[in-house]
Amino acid sequence: MILSCLIFLGLVFHLNEALYVREDHQISSLKKYAFSWHLDEIFLVGATLIHVISMGSSSMVEEEQYICHFVLSTFYLLLIRKTAQTIPADRTQSSVGLSMSLNGKISYPIISLFSVLVSGRILRAWHQGGINWVNLPDISKWLKLAGHEYVKRLWLLACLSVIILSIYVLTFLWTRRKMVLAVGFSFFIPGLMVLKYIISHEDDTSGSFTYSYGSTVSAQKIYRVLGALTVVAVVAVPWLIHIWTSKACSNGDICLSTSGSHDILKLPPLMEMRDSFYVIGWAYIFCWCLLQLLLQQPTNSLPVLLLLVQIYASMLHSFSAVPAHKHWIEVTALYQLGMAGHFALGNSNSLATIDVAGAVIGASDFSMLSSGVLMFIITYASPLLFLLSMPMWISVKNFSCLVTSQNANFGDLLKMMLGFPCVIPLCLNSVTLTAYTIILLLMRNHLFIWSVFSPKYLYVAAATVCVYLGVFIVAATGTYIYLVTIFRKRYKIKASTVA
């Protein structure tokens, strides 16, 4: 474990250096920027170390959600401070919508950061009891006291908002109108199916929701449609996206195919790669949110929407922030948002908070394997959601300023695109797993070894599976897009040579 932790840390430093070093190996301004440290970066590293060390206390393990929420809120306040200091300079620039502002006062980066903060504050208040403070009032308890009618209305509102917001985000690629219409209409169908499922959902006289045979069949159909559409999107989009290649991007759109100084960045294949990442990442996020609206408790429907808002706001900030943050900072922030969302959905480090009821939704007969998979999906909904958003993050980042070598090729671009989204989650998880394994060995004679530390270790082990699964999906998606792009490029060159 210690060796793997050191290997991942070494890979992070290597990637951070490789992304900013020029071919002549001279100390450039980009390299100086890569190794300079800002307050938000120092805080994030220090807070991560303190968080790991705090796991040696049983009370900190039981109330870990407070540490996560504090770290995130403080970090985003530091980002707001850092971004606000650059606003006067941004107003004097006019580079393709990166420094656009509203009413000439507040820029998009500030709005996106405030959206993350406000959403995070509501999520913190949704389930704030933890283990020792279960009696504290929170929003979820108030909703249950208000009655099932209010919960069902909130469920419907959250589902409608997820569909509308996701379709709107897809229209940012309006330069490919045919693709947006085709993909949007296709994924609108499972959204309507989830809405129908919610509307037809029955409740008993006690105010709790019941599951009939009809709802079981509907859930199974939704599973199949979501799975089929996701697979079709991943397989087909890289092959078909070149049909709708745009010749130009308007200043008002998120132009994912911005040209750079190097010739390779002006080639249509790179534009198609980035747009493929965007569409596939969008499909992952949308389908996962619909699945969670189906599986999570109805009182958790609005937290699912708020997690989606945090993702899209983070993407907007990553795209529009000037100057851009370091890649490892943005990926770490997304990872930490996912871990904080894990507690915001009502989870804790106690096995008693696992949602067993949701593990039988859509199940005709009991199966330990299928129920275990559904429990894993429900419990780690937030971490997997943010890991599945990495393809979209890759698409909104501008890698043109990093490709300075004349010998750069698509393999170098693939390494830059997939490096941090894959290595950073593995590194953070490895640090946590290694540290907590050492802590568990030291605490083996502790009074609370079986009630506190051992259940926490089970959660850490399950989180490791979650991280490796998410990273595998991201890496497989990126590799597939790369292989399709290279194949089409070589086929096009061969066809032009024969002609």
pLDDT in tens, 4-54: 777 877 777 777 666 665 434 444 555 555 556 778 888 888 888 888 888
If you search the block for the tokens 């941090």, which residue do you land on? 420
Round to whole Å and give the CA distance between 283 and 184.
10
- Tell me which residue of 184, 132, 453, 123 sits closest to 310, measured CA to CA: 123
Element counts in the chain: helices (H) and strands (E):
19, 2
Number of other residues whose CB lies within 10 A of the CB of residue 462: 15
pLDDT grade for 121, boundaries at 50, 70 and 90: very high
The answer to whether 5 and 431 have CB atoms below 8 angstroms apart is: yes
The pair of three-digit structure tokens given for residue 395, joined into one six-digit string: 């698409």
Position 187 scores a pLDDT of: 93
The answer to whether 34 and 19 have CB atoms below 8 angstroms apart is: yes
For the CA atoms of 290, 296, 300, 303, what is the dihedral angle to 10 degrees? -40
pTM, two decimal places: 0.87
With vertex at residue 428, the alpha carbon angle to CA 6 and CA 1, rounded to the nearest 5 degrees, is 45
Write the DSSP symbol of residue 397.
S
Write the DSSP symbol of residue 176.
G
- Tell me which residue of 194, 187, 384, 420 sits closest to 282, measured CA to CA: 187
Average pLDDT over residues 372-388: 94
User: Maximum distance among all alpha carbons in the chain?
Assistant: 78
Residues in the chain: 499
pLDDT in tens, 41-71: 888 888 888 888 888 888 888 888 888 899 9
The answer to whether 173 and 256 have CB atoms below 8 angstroms apart is: yes
Helices (H), 20-107: 29-35, 39-54, 58-62, 64-84, 87-91
Round to whole Å and give the CA distance between 167 and 373.
29
Cis before residue 109, ω within 30 degrees of 0? Answer: no
pLDDT in tens, 324-367: 778 888 999 999 999 999 999 988 888 888 888 888 888 888 78
CA distances from 210 to 104, 203, 365, 378, 419 (A): 52, 5, 16, 18, 45
- Tell me which residue of 342, 420, 281, 417 sits closest to 130, measured CA to CA: 342
Round to whole Å and give the CA distance between 102 and 15.
36
